[in-house]
Each structure stands twice: as structure tokens, then as C-alpha cells.
Amino acid sequence: MQLDFGTAPTAADADTLTDLSSADSPSATSAADPRGSAVRTVLPRVDARDDGLELVFEGRLRYEGDQLLGEGGMGEVRLAHDNDIDRRVALKRAHPGMSRQALARFAEEVRTVGKLEHPNIVPIHDVGLDEEGRYFFVMKYVEGETLETVIERLAAGDREAHERFDFDARVHVFLGLLRALAHAHERGFLHRDLKPANVMIGRLGEVVLMDWGIAKPIGGAELPADDDAYQRRLVHTQHGAIVGTPSYMSPEQARGAPDLDVRSDLYAACVVFHELMTLRHYLADRPQNVPGQLSGAMEAPLPPVTDMPAWTHASQGPLPIEYVHFLRRGMQKDRDARWGSAEEMIHELEAALAGRVRVQCPMSLTKRVTREAGRFVDRHPRLATTLLFATPLTLAATLLTLASF
Ligand SMILES: Nc1ncnc2c1ncn2[C@@H]1O[C@H](COP(=O)(O)OP(=O)(O)O)[C@@H](O)[C@H]1O
Ligand SMILES: [Mg+2]
């Protein structure tokens, strides 16, 4: 059943909502129906004059502006100006013609983001109704670009992008995403739609995870899925309808498993990290349609560590070996073989950044030995220098002595 919010709300609309709520669950009450009260400014304009102050109460529309920032399954995001606080904000508006289920889902998204206060999660400032009676919520405006754009620029060989986002900087970006996930998981929420388009990098380098439109409490019940906005995010498979983005789904999410846990989000996060580091999607060679991507998510393994071309891109050198091992573990099809938590992954990556590379193959052994040798020089500079020069000298003297006999 649809509630058309496309026209200016009237008292009759409120009655309609009452009728609907009594007709089927979940219920809503007309007494609390706020439609028709488009948000207006409350603070006065302050004009300082020679003979004192003039305060002008304008009662303007609080949020104005129309530049489209992005559009997705649940609605559109526009840049707006908050006329009360006098700053730019991002406004996410639901699609018109919102059904009761869509409204329920919208309310869930607002409350989920509201519960997740964290530096790597987009903060929510306000919620309201616009002139046309469409629900919106107000977020911090993240001035920057999505990770999707960053990856595109890197893959195209953009020099400025490569200077700003070398491998270490990309690991730092991913750590921001993992910290957001660690917080959400600790609070009991799964994101379920991790992908580069849902991660933003702000002008100051801050990493912000957004779009909690299909987030769900771990182990919690799914909201009814019969509204239009949700339908747009559903993927229909032979096993039924699943929610998310096929090319970033974990194998269990692609299978439609009902018992997703944090390891499903962590797999998707690793798909994002893989793409950010290798500049290609691991399912790029698979058919670019829903069945092709879903079967890839369930079956396609990552290339072996020794397949150097697979870990190299024309615009950059090969991926440091520790990240190849990290990704191969993170994208195991069997979730028991993956990383168990975002914290564990953060710990591993911080150790790698600090040079404490885990020894897993001859290459990582070589790297570890060289890094340890460097650390030894830092701790014992004189002894290290003596050893470095003394050893070849001793060796040469022994060889010369032996040769003279
Ligand atoms: N707070 C924000 N600041 C700047 N741009 C944003 C913000 N939120 C979303 N966007 C842009 O809008 C796009 C869609 O937003 P998102 O929350 O992912 O909505 P949807 O549920 O429709 O996918 C994002 O990919 C991003 O480009
Ligand atoms: Mg999105």
C-alpha cells in the first residue's frame, strides 16, 4: 500500500495515514503525524546598526539548495545550506511515493546512523520533512570524493592520485573503514552494503562510511521487504531475493544465508581493499551480470601469491607481499578461515605498516629479515657497523690466506 507524499500535505493526508495504520500493521498514529510542518529557521538574522541591534525573525525554509551529490537505491543526496546554523549540509531525501514499509526503513536508517557515533561514520544532524512532504535527514556534508572515484583515478594512472594515495596511504584509508566497522559491529550492526561508492574521503583525508540504508542488527529480524525503495536494492536469484550489491557480497550473502555475521561485512571490506590496492575488481573477468557476479562471489578464489601479474597494475608496482597474504585470508570462501573481527585486521595491518611483517613465504621472510636488520642498526649502530665491515674483511683475509698456500 502506497502513501503518495508527492503533493503538499493536507489534513486529509493525515487521515489517510490513520486509516492505513488501522488497516494493517505496523501501526502509526495520526496524532504524531508531523507532515505539513516543513522545517523553518528559528534564529533571527542579526543586523548590527549604529543605534543598536536589529533582530529579524525570517522563518525561512531551514534547508535550501538543490545540487545533486549522488543518487542510490533509497533516495537522493543533495547539498543544501542550513540557514539557521549557516553551513553546508548533505540532505538525504527519500523517494516520493513512500510506502509505510519504506518509511519504517527510513526511520531505521536514521536511528542506526544516530546510534553509531564515530569519527569514521557520517554524523547525522537532523531529520525533517520538506515542502513537498518528503522525509529527509541531514548529515554532515563530506566535501571530498567517494572511494569509487579515487579508485577510478588511480586505475587511470592519475599522477596526483598516486602521489596522494601510495600503498601506505591506501592502507590508512582502509583502516578508517575497519574502525567504522569495528564500532558498528561492537554496537551489534551489520552494514551489508560495503562498496567504494559508500565510502567517502574528505578534503582533510578523513574516511567516512555512509549509506546505512540496509544495515541490520546482527541476528535481528529483517523488516518486511515489499516497499519500492527496498525492491530497488533487492537482487533476485534462483534462491529468492537478497539485499546488497552482488560484486561486493560475501559468499554466504550471495547464497542468501540467513545467519550473516561480522565476517560477511569483513569479506566485503576486503573486496573493497583488494580493488583499492590492485585497481581491479576480483570478479572483472566474470560475466558482468547478477548471476555471473553472484557465482563469482561464491566460487572465484583470489589468484595465488606467486601469480605476480594478478597482483600488479600497469600504473604501479606489485602489491607488497604482506597485503597479498592479508587479502587472501580475508577473502576465503569459508568464513571460518577468514579474519574473525575488524580489530584483528586492524592489528595485523598496523603491524605491517610498522614493518612487523608476518613470515608466510620466502618473500615475506626476506622482507622481515631486512626490516629486522634495519631495526638492529637503529638499536646498536656501532656494533652493526663493525659487523657489516668486519665480516667481509675477515672473510677476504681468510680467503687470501688460504689462497697463498
Ligand atoms: N554526507 C555526504 N556528503 C557528501 N556526499 C554524500 C554524502 N552522503 C552521500 N553522498 C553522495 O551521495 C551518494 C549516495 O549516497 P548514499 O548514502 O550511498 O545513498 P543511497 O542509499 O541512495 O545509495 C554517495 O555515493 C555520495 O556520492
Ligand atoms: Mg549508496
- The partner residues of 77 in beta bridges, in order of sequence, read 70, 92
Mutation probe of ligand 1 site: the residue of 81, 138, 210 with most atoms within 8 A of C-beta: 210
How would you list the strands of the sheet with 63-71, edge to edge? 63-71, 75-82, 87-94, 135-140, 124-129
Give the model confidence (pLDDT) of 315-344 as tens digits: 999 999 999 999 999 999 999 999 999 999
Share of the chain above pLDDT 90, in %: 61
The average pLDDT across 180-199 equals 97
Q: Rounded distance, CA 129 to CA 28, Å?
A: 17
- Angstrom distance (rounded) from CA 199 to CA 235: 21
Alpha helix (H) residue ranges in 139-261: 147-155, 159-164, 167-186, 228-233, 251-255
If we measure between CA atoms, which residue out of 77, 102, 99, 103 comes closest to residue 90? 77
Nearest CA to ligand 1 atom 16: 211
pLDDT for res 5: 31
pLDDT band at 238 (very low <50, low <70, confident <90, very high): low
Tell me the domains of the chain and their CATH numbers: 25-140 (3.30.200.20), 144-358 (1.10.510.10)
Pick from 19-33, 126-140, 236-250 the range whose average pLDDT is largest.
126-140
Distance between CA 80 and CA 137 in Å, rounded?
Answer: 11
Ligand nearest to the CA of 147: 1
Atom of ligand 1 at shortest range from CA of 210:
17
Compute CA 287 distance to the chain's CA centroid, rounded to the nearest angstrom: 25
Q: What gap in Å lies between CA 64 and CA 78, rounded to an integer?
A: 10
Beta-ladder partners of 92: 77, 137
CA-CA distances (angstroms) from residue 233 to 48, 72, 244, 287? 52, 9, 6, 20
pLDDT per residue as tens digits for the range 205-232: 999 999 998 899 998 777 666 656 666 6
Q: Any alpha helices (H) in 49-124, and if so which ranges?
A: 100-115
Which pLDDT score, from 0 to 100, does residue 29 have? 44
pLDDT at residue number 98? 78
First to last CA, the chain: 102
Short-list 334, 322, 336, 203, CA closest to 273: 322
Q: Does the annotation mark 193 as catalytic? A: yes
pLDDT band at 285; cut points 50, 70, 90: very high
Residue 7 confidence (pLDDT): 34
User: Each residue of 125-180: pLDDT tens digit?
Assistant: 999 988 888 899 999 999 999 999 999 999 999 999 999 999 999 999 999 999 99
Q: Which of 82, 193, 227, 265 is catalytic?
A: 193
Our answer on whether the CB atom of 283 is closer than 6 Å to any ligand 1 atom is: no
Question: Are 211 and 256 within 8 A, CB to CB?
Answer: no
Residue 229 alpha carbon to ligand 2 centre in Å = 12
Q: Is the pLDDT of residue 256 over 60?
A: yes
Confidence at residue 243, expressed as pLDDT on a 0 to 100 scale: 80
Return the H-helix or E-strand segment holding 216.
strand 216-217
DSSP secondary structure string for all residues of 313-342: BTTB-PPPHHHHHHHHHHT-SSGGGS---H
Is 85 a residue whose pLDDT tops 50? yes
pLDDT band at 11 (very low <50, low <70, confident <90, very high): very low
Handedness of CA 90, 91, 92, 96 (dihedral sign): negative
Q: What is the mean pLDDT of the chain?
A: 86
Beta pairing class for 234-237 and 240-243:
antiparallel
Confidence of residue 374 (pLDDT cuts 50, 70, 90): confident
Q: Name the least confident of 232-241, 277-286, 326-335.
A: 232-241
Angle, vertex CA 364, rays to CA 384 and CA 379, nearest 5? 25
The answer to whether 122 touches 141, Cβ cutoff 8 Å, is no
Give every CB contact of residue 289 below 8 A, 6+ residues apart in sequence.
none
* Confidence category of residue 23, pLDDT binned at 50, 70, 90: very low
Handedness of CA 257, 215, 183, 270 (dihedral sign): positive
Nearest ligand 1 atom to the CA of 144 is 4
Closest-lying ligand 1 atom to the alpha carbon of residue 213: 21
Is 402 or 283 the better-scoring residue by pLDDT? 283
Instruction: Identify the residue with better confidence: 261 or 236.
Output: 261
**Cβ atoms 369, 362 nearer than 8 A:** no
Question: Could you tell me which residues are beta bridge partners of residue 64?
Answer: 81
Q: What is the mean pLDDT of residues 30-47?
A: 75
